[in-house]
């Protein structure tokens, strides 16, 4: 959602709407994480009154979808792709191959045996 | 030798006080595991590299220095070549009438028929 988006582009990697969106979701989640955890604590605490727990459940369910951690997906910083990402390098498998063969990734070497 | 339960509970109580745990002998679900979790928001938000200074910023910061932006110069040169060959983008239309003049075959045919 554009209301969460930074007014000025603050990404230094490959930029398309999907990476911008994912970046925004990450920032929104980081901002709202304490609140979410507090609500989750209330929901899971059986010593609290049932009514308060149900209220907390409703409140958590009604939070914006951008505040959910499940909305976040690792994307390629070189090409913005969403599948086949190597987590250690934050790159899709093809971009990883290109960069590794070009020698841009320290310590990565093509194996042959 | 059996130790009475009350004695063990006392021991657990003291243990909880020393290590600042919650004393919960019945094992009731208090949701403390949520509070024990670390916040992962900052780590997740740091996934994408942030914007760094660009060539334009450098030029703006030091206007008195002579700089050469290779990419930009290459682009402008290519544009010049294209324009010289007459293959460049058309000029921007400034008025509504100008932009309407040649817009699609159908409109042109309709205008001709009328």
Mean of pLDDT over chain A: 93
Nearest CB partner across the interface for B52, out of A12, A27, A33: A12
- The pLDDT tens digits of the residues spanning B31-40 come to 889 998 999 9
Q: Residue A35 has which token pair?
A: 């609140």
**CA-based nearest distance B52→chain A, Å:** 6
Burial (Cβ within 10 Å: 0-12, 13-18, ≥19) of residue A76: buried
Q: What is the 3-state secondary structure (H, E, C) of A72-85?
A: CCCCCCCCCCCCCE
Long-range contacts of A37-41 (CB under 8 A, 24+ apart): A37/B34, A37/B35, A37/B37, A37/B39, A40/B31, A40/B34, A41/B31, A41/B32, A41/B34, A41/B35
Enclosing H/E stretch for A86? strand A85-86
**CA-based nearest distance B36→chain A, Å:** 10
What is the pLDDT confidence band of residue B110, given thresholds at 50, 70 and 90? low
pTM of the model: 0.73
Residue B7 sits at the chain A interface (C-beta within 8 Å): no
In this prediction the ipTM stands at 0.84
Residue B53 sits at the chain A interface (C-beta within 8 Å): no
SS3 B13: helix
Quote the pLDDT of residue B109: 60
Query: Which residues, listed in sequence order, are joined to residue B50 by a DSSP beta bridge?
Result: A11
- The pLDDT tens digits of the residues spanning B6-48 come to 899 999 999 999 998 888 888 888 888 999 899 999 999 999 9
Residue B38 sits at the chain A interface (C-beta within 8 Å): no
Residues in chain B with CB shorter than 8 Å from the CB of A47 are 28, 30
Q: What is the mean pLDDT of residues B53-70?
A: 85
Contact A29 B44 (CB under 8 A): yes
């Amino acid at each position: 959602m554009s209301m969460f988006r930074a007014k000025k582009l603050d990404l230094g990697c490959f930029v398309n709407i999907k990476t911008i969106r994912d970046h925004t979701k990450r920032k929104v989640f980081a901002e709202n994480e304490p609140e979410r955890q507090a609500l989750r604590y209330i929901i899971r605490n059986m010593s609290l009154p049932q009514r308060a727990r149900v209220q907390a459940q409703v409140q958590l369910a009604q939070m914006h979808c951008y505040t959910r951690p499940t909305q976040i997906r690792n994307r390629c910083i070189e090409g913005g792709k969403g599948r086949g990402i190597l987590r250690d390098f934050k790159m899709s498998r093809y971009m990883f191959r290109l960069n590794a063969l070009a020698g841009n990734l320290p310590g990565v070497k093509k194996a042959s045996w | 030798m059996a130790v009475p339960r009350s004695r063990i509970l006392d021991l657990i109580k003291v243990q909880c006080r020393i290590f600042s745990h919650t004393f919960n002998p019945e094992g009731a679900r208090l949701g403390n595991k949520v509070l024990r979790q670390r916040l992962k928001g900052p780590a997740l938000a740091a996934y994408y590299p942030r914007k760094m200074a660009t060539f334009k910023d450098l030029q703006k910061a030091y206007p008195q220095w002579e700089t050469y932006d290779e990419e930009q110069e290459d682009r402008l040169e290519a544009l010049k070549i294209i324009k010289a060959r007459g293959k460049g983008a058309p000029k921007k239309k400034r008025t509504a009438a100008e932009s309407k003049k040649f817009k699609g075959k159908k409109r042109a045919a309709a205008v001709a028929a009328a």
